[in-house]
Amino acid sequence: MATRKKTPAKPASTAGRPYSSLVVDGLKQSASRAMLRAVGYTDKDFTKPSVGVASTWSNLTPCNMHIDKLAAAAAAGVDSSGGKSTTFGTITVSDGISMGSPGMRFSLVSREVIADSIETVTGAQGFDGVVAIGGCDKNIPGCMMALARLNRPAVFVYGGTIKPGANHTDVISVFEAVGQFANGTISAKQLKQVEKTAIPGPGSCGGMYTANSMASAIEALGMSLPNSSAQEAVSRNKLKDCREAGKAVVKLVKAGIKPSDILSRKAFENAITVVIALGGSTNAVLHLLAIAHEAGIKLELDDFTRIGLKVPVLADVRPSGKYLMSELIRIGGIQPLMKILLEAGLLHGGCMTVTGRTLAENLADVKPYPIDQSIIRPLDKPIKKDSHLVVLYGNLAPEGAVAKITGNEGLTFAGKARCFHGEEAALQAILAGVVQKGDVVVIRYEGPRGGPGMREMLSPTSAINGRGLAKDVALLTDGRFSGGSHGFVIGHVTPEAYDGGPIALIQDGDGITIDAANNKVTLDVSDDELARRKAAWVRPDPYTTRGLLSKYAKLVSSASRGAVTTD
C-alpha cells in the first residue's frame, strides 16, 4: 500500500496572523520557514502572531545608546504573551552632535529614512504587529509615521529621558555656555566643566525639548502605554514599560485593534493640547502634521491656533522654565496633568488607546500631583493663559510661520533686519558681536528644500541667549528650532526662501514687526517694492545635486504641510 507523503500542516486558523500567515504557511513557503529556523524559529513559532521590534539602538548618541536593552525587554514581553518577536534595526542621527554643522541637514531627512525603513522591513517580513522604540528627536516621529502608514497593531515606546547633569545642567547649558564664553561672562575652564558634566549618561535631552515633547504627544495620541513618556532612560520603570508594550501589542493583534482605530482627529487634538500645556517644542507642530498626514487625518496649522486659544501653558519646564523632565517624573509625570485637562473638558476622553481602553478609562484612577509641587501650575494660575505655539501670518509669511512665545519675551518685537544666507554666517556674526540690540536676525535658505533639510537654529539662538540678548534680538528663519531654543524666535517661515518666498526678498535695514498678540509678522516694505525685488530675485544653486539630500529636496513638501515626502 502506497504511503501518502506528508506536507507541512497549515495552522487551523490564521486569526491574529493576517500577514505572517502569508509568509510562513503552506507548502510553497517551505523556504521561508527554513530561513526563519536558522534565526531561532520552531514549529510552534510559525503558528504565533509575528511581532517586529523596531530598535533605533546606536552608540553614537546618549539618546539611543541603551535601546538595545529596551528592545530585548520588549521582545521578551512579546514572547511571554504568546507571540514571536523578531528584532530589527533602523538608523538614527544625533541632532545634538550635528547641530551647527553641515551634518544637521540630514536630521529631518532621517525622519523619512526611519519611517521608510520600518515600513520596508515590516512589509517585507509580514509582521502582524510592531513595537517601535525611539529615543532621539527624529526617530520618535519617524517611528510613528511608519506605524501610521502600516496600520498594523502597534505600540510606540519612548526610550526615556536623561538624568540631570551636574548643577542642574543639560545639553542646552553647553550651547548657552558657548555664548557666555564669547561674551566674557565665563572662563574657558568653566566652559570645559559644563561640557564635561552636563550629559551624564543614556537618555534624551532633559527639558521639554523635542524628544520629551513628542513622547508626551504620542502618549496623548494613545499610541504609548500610560507613563511611557515620563520615565528615565535608565530605570526599572522603563524596562517594565518595554515588557508591557510587548505584551500589549500581542493583545492588540488578537483583538484586531490598529492605529487607524486610535489615530482619530480627536486624538490629534488631544496631542496638541498636551504639548501646549507642557510648553513643548515647535517641532511638535511639524511632526504632528506629518504623522497626521500618514494616518490620513486632515490637520492644519490653524488647528494649533484654534486649540491654543483655550489651552493654557501649565508646566514650568525648560527651556523657558525652570524644571527638567526628571523632576516632572518624580511628581507623577504627565498622567495627572492629562487628568486635569480631561476634567476641565480640554481632552477627548472617549479616544481609544493601545491599552484597549479609552483615554478616560486609563486616567480614572490616576492620583493628583502632590499639593506642594510647583512644576505644574493650577488651571487658574497658568504660566500663560493660551498657547505658546503661535502661528503667524502676514506679507512675510503668507503660508504661515511658527513662533514659540511663552510670555517671557513679550508679545511684540519691532526691529531692523540683519540678513544671513545660512546658519554659519549668522552664528559667526552673533559670536563676533556684530548682531546688536534691536536687530531681527534673518537666517534664510535653510528650509526643507533650500537647506536642504530645514536645519535647527539652536547654535544661533543659544549664542544670542549666552550673550544676554534674548529680550533684545529676534530671530526669523525658514529653518526650524531645537526644542531647546527660547527667546523671540520665529521659524518654519513659508514659502521658504528657495521657493522665492518673501523671506528671500528682505534686505538689511528693512523693518520687521512681530505681533504675537494678533498672530502677524510683517515686513515693512510696500507691495510694489516687494514685486520689484521678486522680479530681480535669482534662485541660488542647490546645496547639492547628488545623493539623498538632492532626492529629498525634490520630494519634500512645505513646512506648513509637515515637510513630508509622500503624497
The full length of the chain comes to 567
Catalytic-residue membership of 482: yes
* Cis before 452? omega within 30: yes
Per the CB < 8 A criterion, the answer to whether 312 and 383 are in contact is yes
Beta-carbon count within 10 A of 132 CB: 30
Beta-carbon count within 10 A of 498 CB: 23
> How much helix, strand and coil, in percent to the nearest 5, is found in the chain?
40, 15, 45
Distance CA 518, CA 511 (A): 18
Per the CB < 8 A criterion, the answer to whether 195 and 178 are in contact is no
Strand pairing class (511-515; 520-523)? antiparallel
Provide the H-helix boundaries in 264-343. 265-277, 283-295, 301-308, 325-330, 335-343
Per the CB < 8 A criterion, the answer to whether 438 and 416 are in contact is yes
Distance CA 83, CA 246 (A): 9
Using alpha carbons, select from 410, 396, 379, 362 the residue that is nearest to residue 512.
396
Per the CB < 8 A criterion, the answer to whether 481 and 501 are in contact is no
Catalytic residue among 213, 228, 482, 560, which?
A: 482
Distance CA 492, CA 478 (A): 5
Distance CA 114, CA 110 (A): 6
Buried b (16+ CB within 10 A) or exposed e, 38-70: eeebeeebbbbbbbbbbbbbbeebbbbbbbbbb
**Cell numbers 526599572 correspond to what residue?**
236
Grid cell listed for 29: 513557503
Residues whose CB is less than 8 angstroms from the CB of residue 10 and which lie 6 or more positions away in sequence, other chains included? 25, 26
Distance CA 66, CA 59 (A): 8
**Cell numbers 505584551 correspond to what residue?**
247
Distance CA 470, CA 461 (A): 8
Strand pairing class (474-477; 439-444)? parallel
Residues paired with 491 in a beta bridge? 402
* Coil, helix or strand at residue 373: coil
Beta-carbon count within 10 A of 555 CB: 14
Residue type for position 427: L
Just list the catalytic residues: 482
